[in-house]
Structure 1
Amino acid sequence: MTILVTGATANIGRKIVDHLVAAGRTDIRALTTDPERAALPAGVEAFRGYVRRPESLAGAFDGVDRLYLAPSADTVTEVLALARAAGVRHVVDLSGEPESWWGTVCTAVENSGMSWTHLWPADFMENTITWSHQIRATGVVHEPFPDAATAPIAMDDIAAVATTALLSDSTGNRAYPLSGPEVLTRTDLLDRIATALGRELTFAKSSREETIAALAPTMGDQATWYVDNVLTAYTPDPTTLPLTSVFDITGRPATTFATWATTNTAPFTSLDS
């Protein structure tokens, strides 16, 4: 039976496709808005569609047994109804705890009548790319909570967990809180980026308004939402973070932030370097 990956050219979805191919699966259908430009691996079936446009999904779920669901709170209930009607048995969703801003997705999946695996990730390592303009322009990052801590996780590790869940024979319902392998403050993260770049970077404690203004060049209108919903959610309590979750589920060590920073210097590098 076919595995359908929605958002298959987005950050996590594409990595899931690659992990499934590496695992030897040949029954992968990839949902993408532009199959001609998707550049998917050989043997992967590209299907034109988008979860935010349920009317584009006719036929997408035909023959599908398992589904990776990219988050789309506005249309999730309709998409899940189409999936269930087509015979999908299990949904692996990227969401968050019911009380989080992704809770709509989580709740809809649980109410869908299909079995499910929730992926509830901590802060993405890739979210530090929101600092890229500030790092390139001045070397100073502005945020309000320099000592706020979390255990950020690499998107590739989330994709590896999703792949494990998609390939599992289990049809039970479970939620996986996910995090990276170490608790780091915001200043710790910047220090590791500085080491990867080989240059000095500074953290400036800033007001909410100053932070939004500093993030706007990279985030645009999303800067206010990010400051009010993400930056305020960091926890300094390491006992609440599942630091071994990636290894426990996949059997492979989670990516450290230092490793991620070393292999992702391009966004932080001066445009004329």
Structure 2
Amino acid sequence: MAILVTGATGNIGRMVVDQLLACGASDVRALTIDPERAALPAEVEVVEGHLGRVGSAAFAGVDRMYLAPSPGNVAEVLEVARAAGVRHVVDLSGEPESWWGSVCDAVEGSGLEWTHLWPADFMENTLSWSRQIRETGVIREPHADTATAPIAMKDIAAVAATALLNDGHVGRAHSLAGPEILTRAELVAHIADALDRDITFRTSTREETITALQPSMGDNTTWYVDNVLIDFAPPPQSLPITSVEDITGHPATTFDDWARANAARFLTD
């Protein structure tokens, strides 16, 4: 039976495909808008489509699926999947009270077996600082001491692959985090070390932060500043910093290692 990866050319979906293959999966199907440009591995069955326009053919013969975030039409997607015989869905979402809560509710109400993945702040979100790093060397945000345990997208994909390929994850919501708790100022310091240049954290107002991030984040800027940078501050002791290793058996990526591996991305558009 096939494993279907939706959003297979998205940031995390593409990594889920790679992780499944690395784990020895031999029947992987990828849903993508443009199969010719997807550049997916030859051993992957590529199906044209997306979550806003999913036909039953994409689910034929599928036993398990990775569900990329799709709050707008998740119920419709799950209905088609169930009718086609899909048994287990691993979804990327968030706690029920979060913006992604509608995905959790729909998945649990679908009648399918499920596994939720609830990741913390992505390490990749720090790439929104790239323009500030290049142009001013100053990062502007409201709270230097806000601490989280950011997680690399590759590690989220590894957990997704583990849940798709192994028993024992049905009916579980995996809260995911990186292996260390870091303040916003400490994240900046790690990036400065990786780039071998001076970068300063400057405590800024909400309006100054929005102005600084707008060129990089566009229409999402205000939501991100209000909901992530200002209102999101989980107690450090509640962060599941061993979750990735507990689930996959492999250590999670440290932010320092991630920053050094992705240093060039901070210097280009």
2:75 to 50, 74, 77: 77
Is the counterpart of residue 141 in structure 1 residue 100 in structure 2?
no
1:6 corresponds in structure 2 to 6
1:26 corresponds in structure 2 to 26
For structure 2, the residue ranges without an aligned partner over 5 or more in a row are none
**Per-residue CA distance 1:198-244 (angstroms, 9 max, x = gap):** 00000111111111111111111111111112213432622110010
Change in CA separation of 1:34 and 1:208 when aligned onto 2, cut-off 3 Å: same
Q: Which 10-residue stretch deviates more, 235-244 or 82-91?
A: 235-244
Answer yes or no: is the 8 Å Cα contact 1:67–1:88 preserved in 2: yes
TM-score scaled by structure 2? 0.97
Answer yes or no: is the 8 Å Cα contact 1:27–1:44 preserved in 2: yes
- The SS at the match of 1:220 is helix
Residues 61-140 of structure 1: pairs in structure 2 closer than 5 A = 61-140=59-138
Q: Which residue identity lines up with residue 261 of structure 1 in the other structure?
A: A
2:38 corresponds in structure 1 to 38
2:207 corresponds in structure 1 to 209
Answer yes or no: is the 8 Å Cα contact 2:139–2:201 preserved in 1: yes
Change in CA separation of 1:233 and 1:90 when aligned onto 2, cut-off 3 Å: farther
After TM superposition, where is structure 1 displaced by more than 4 Å over at least 4 residues in a row?
none
- The SS at the match of 1:181 is coil
TM-score scaled by structure 1? 0.96
| Cα drift, residue 172 of structure 1 | 2.8
1:252 corresponds in structure 2 to 250
May I ask how many residue pairs the two structures share in their alignment?
Answer: 269
| Cα drift, residue 268 of structure 1 | 1.5
Q: Which 10-residue stretch deviates more, 91-100 or 19-28?
A: 19-28
State, as a whole percentage, how many aligned pairs show the same letter: 66
Q: Which residue identity lines up with residue 31 of structure 1 in the other structure?
A: L
Q: Distance in 1 between matches of 2:162 and 2:24?
A: 13
| Cα drift, residue 83 of structure 1 | 0.5
- The SS at the match of 1:230 is helix
For structure 1, the residue ranges without an aligned partner over 5 or more in a row are none
| Cα drift, residue 26 of structure 1 | 1.6
Q: Distance in 1 between matches of 2:30 and 2:231?
A: 33
Q: Distance in 2 between matches of 1:171 and 1:179?
A: 17
1:225 corresponds in structure 2 to 223
Q: Distance in 1 between matches of 2:234 and 2:66?
A: 31
- What is the RMSD of the two structures over their aligned residues, measured on CA atoms? 1.2
1:266 corresponds in structure 2 to 264
Q: Distance in 2 between matches of 1:78 and 1:29?
A: 20
- The SS at the match of 1:91 is strand
